Amino acid sequence: MNKDYMRAIPSEWRNISKVFTALGDEHRQRILLTFEPGERLNVGQIADVSTLSRSAVSHHLKILREAGVLDSVKEGKEVYFWIAKAFLIDAMEIVLGHIRKHV
């Protein structure tokens, strides 16, 4: 048993819990799956294909962005979102590396 991690999580793991928490909600999973490769979408575009209200979509997008799952940019009155591919790959590789090391 490795007791080193019972009190402190390694720094490279700190953002991972936010990712998994954000992706633990089915609505946020559906939002993430809405994006085509390389696509940028705004709140209205996502709300148009969602069963959620525009304000609920905005709430979920905020959580995904704060967790690092999505990136965003404001252009005029619209905010466009896209999947933060590099960040997610890095986060998943950290977890996979740990699993591979121990299996």
Residue-wise pLDDT for 36-93, tens only, equals 999 999 999 999 999 999 999 999 999 999 999 999 999 999 999 999 999 999 999 9
Whether pTM exceeds 0.85 = yes
User: CB-based contacts of 71: which residues, under 8 Å, 6+ apart?
Assistant: 65, 81, 82, 83, 84
Query: Tokens in use for 88?
Result: 């997610």
pLDDT at 41: 98
- The CA distances from residue 50 to 25, 56, 84, 100, in Å, are 14, 10, 21, 37
